[in-house]
């Protein structure tokens, strides 16, 4: 009798799970599932303790869901990817596994791990990998010359054309294979854990409930509401997508069900949200095409010559939300408290760190990963490189957000700021974005930091630093940072 093993990773759900669905197609096969925790590898990748807790909570739920289908979930904890490969090879031999099923991960280390495993199992256990975490697989959306797009808008246009030709239907959960089985709660990960809070309940059913509610009630207002952090205008689904409790196909199909004309209504809130899903795809396709993006390298090579400020005090002030710029500080305190940050605020905070403080974008990228409940290498790296003008973007490096003007535009009454900066509670709306000017006129002192940098002067310094780095490389035949599709 055949034995099929499903290796769960960042796909903690039983519905619309390509690997699980394929493993269950043979009704006579014995089906097992396995999850391997790798704490040392997680630490090396800066996984946030909150996200580790969220993964554990979903692991408990998926174990219960699998048990109801008569499928045992085996849990094991290894130190890192090398140890996990060795353990899995031994496990397959002991269980006489005929086929191993898994959904592909696209980060460099994960791809190397899967390649080593396939080599070690060659001739013993067949390996079947699936593109499950994306609407369209990497390398399927290319330019006319067969290269990866380097600018988002033409990628999106080509992506939508390909999407309309593709089958992206969601798969049902497998049918029960036998009576429900008993299971033992897995041991807590040997990793720092943190409270997720009440904002994000675990489980794919909760993720699907949130998706349905968003598409029915708020998606049409998404285009106008998404930029205002005091408004509940976003989907809040990113943590579920990050751990795989929800698939992008489920998002697309629910959106289509509620908004059938989404692809034709390009100015609608529904299309604007679809656009965000395609940004998610863009950054993953880029990461596969250019693996050096996983290795702390900028997409634009000359930007590695920017002379960054090395002082630690400004970085610590930014991390703690004590820069003296209310919109930045409110956002950082939201991140530190909840593990989540509104997307508009992510852009503002990233721009401030790089363009006002002239601190290396990689310090911010790492700090976000250490805090985010929805931490995801491709999206986080892509967002930071976009803000830092080091990445795949049509806009030049002199795009610099003015944090005060951004605050006035996207939190005009200061509702978000007051939620996270209680020390500014007495400052009137008209002065909330420059509170010290108001305090000086009143002759009082606020228990709030003075701005740690003058934006106007910082802008001049940053432009000079980027310009100097660019001039350094003019006329120099520098080799490319990496080769696509190794």
The residues that are catalytic are 276, 279, 308, 343, 361, 384
199 among annotated binding-site residues: no
Pairing of strands 30-37, 99-103: unpaired
269 among annotated binding-site residues: no
* Token pair of 442 as six digits: 């009143």
Assign 430 to helix, strand or coil: helix
Handedness of CA 143, 484, 131, 124 (dihedral sign): positive
325 among annotated binding-site residues: no
Q: Is 451 exposed, middle or buried (0-12, 13-18, 19+ CB in 10 A)?
A: middle
Report residue 33: phi and psi, to 5°: -130, 155
Helix residue ranges per DSSP H, 244-373: 248-258, 269-289, 312-320, 326-338, 343-351, 361-371
234 among annotated binding-site residues: yes
Pairing of strands 99-103, 3-8: parallel
237 among annotated binding-site residues: yes
Q: CA nearest 279: which of 378, 213, 347?
A: 378
149 among annotated binding-site residues: no
377 among annotated binding-site residues: no
**Orientation of helix 269-289 relative to helix 377-388, angle to 10°:** 100
Check residue 303 and give left, alpha or beta (phi > 0: left; psi -120 to 50: alpha).
alpha
When computed from its CA atoms, the radius of gyration of the chain, rounded to whole angstroms, is 24
117 among annotated binding-site residues: no
374 among annotated binding-site residues: yes
Which uninterrupted H or E stretch holds 36?
A: strand 30-37
Asked if residue 225 lies in contact with residue 35, where contact means CB atoms within 8 angstroms, the answer is no
Which uninterrupted H or E stretch holds 397?
A: none
Assign 73 to helix, strand or coil: strand
Q: Which residue has the tokens 């085996």?
A: 74
224 among annotated binding-site residues: no
* Token pair of 93 as six digits: 């031999």
195 among annotated binding-site residues: no
279 among annotated binding-site residues: yes
278 among annotated binding-site residues: yes
- What span, in angstroms and rounded, lies between the C-alpha atoms of 54 and 246? 13
Residue 396, CB-side half-sphere exposure with 13 Å CA sphere: 6
235 among annotated binding-site residues: yes
446 among annotated binding-site residues: no
227 among annotated binding-site residues: no
115 among annotated binding-site residues: no
Q: In what order do the strands lie in the sheet with 72-77?
A: 72-77, 30-37, 3-8, 99-103, 126-130
273 among annotated binding-site residues: yes
- Mark the binding-site residues for FAD, compressed into ranges: 222, 234-238, 273, 276-283, 374-376
Residue list, annotated binding site: 222, 234-238, 273, 276-283, 374-376
């Amino acid at each position: 009798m055949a034995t099929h093993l499903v290796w769960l990773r960042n796909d903690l759900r039983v519905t619309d799970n390509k690997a699980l669905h394929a493993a269950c197609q043979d009704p006579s096969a014995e089906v097992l599932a396995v999850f391997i925790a790798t704490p040392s590898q997680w630490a090396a990748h800066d996984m946030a303790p909150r996200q580790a807790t969220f993964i554990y909570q979903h692991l408990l739920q998926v174990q219960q869901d699998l048990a109801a289908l008569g499928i045992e979930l085996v849990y094991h904890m290894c130190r890192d990817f090398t140890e996990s490969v060795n353990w899995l090879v031994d496990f397959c031999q002991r269980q006489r596994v005929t086929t191993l099923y898994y959904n592909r991960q696209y980060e460099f280390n994960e791809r190397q791990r899967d390649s080593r495993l396939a080599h070690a199992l060659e001739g013993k256990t067949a390996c079947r990998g699936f593109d499950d975490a994306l609407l369209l697989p990497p390398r399927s959306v290319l330019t006319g010359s067969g290269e990866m797009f380097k600018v988002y808008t033409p990628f999106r246009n080509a992506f939508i054309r390909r999407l309309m030709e593709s089958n992206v239907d969601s798969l049902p959960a497998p049918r029960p294979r036998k009576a429900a089985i008993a299971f033992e709660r897995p041991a807590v990960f040997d990793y720092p854990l943190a409270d997720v809070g009440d904002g994000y309940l675990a489980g794919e059913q909760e993720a699907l409930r949130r998706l349905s509610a968003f598409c029915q009630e708020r998606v049409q207002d998404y285009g106008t509401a998404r930029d205002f952090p005091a408004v509940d205008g976003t989907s809040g689904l990113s943590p579920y997508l990050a751990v795989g409790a929800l698939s992008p196909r489920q998002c697309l199909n629910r959106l289509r069900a509620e908004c059938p004309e989404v692809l034709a209504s390009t100015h609608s809130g529904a299309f604007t949200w679809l656009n965000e899903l395609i940004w998610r795809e863009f950054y993953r396709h880029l990461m596969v095409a250019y693996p050096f993006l996983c290795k702390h390298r900028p997409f634009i090579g000359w930007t590695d010559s920017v002379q960054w400020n090395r002082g630690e005090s400004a970085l610590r002030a930014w991390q703690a939300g004590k820069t003296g710029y209310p919109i930045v500080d409110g956002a950082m305190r939201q991140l530190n408290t909840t593990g989540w940050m509104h997307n508009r605020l992510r852009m503002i905070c990233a721009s401030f760190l790089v363009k006002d403080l002239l601190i290396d974008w990689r310090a911010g990228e790492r700090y976000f990963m250490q805090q985010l409940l929805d931490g995801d290498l491709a999206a986080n790296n892509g967002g930071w490189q976009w803000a830092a003008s080091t990445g795949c973007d049509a806009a030049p490096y002199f795009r610099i957000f003015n944090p005060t003007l951004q605050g006035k535009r996207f939190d005009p009454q200061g509702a978000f700021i007051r939620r996270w900066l209680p020390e500014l509670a007495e400052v009137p709306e008209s002065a909330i974005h420059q509170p010290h000017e108001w305090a000086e006129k009143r002759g009082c002192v606020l228990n709030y930091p003075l701005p740690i940098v003058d934006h106007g002067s910082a802008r001049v310094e940053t432009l000079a630093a980027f310009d100097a780095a660019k001039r350094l490389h003019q006329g120099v035949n520098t080799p490319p940072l990496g080769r696509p599709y190794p």
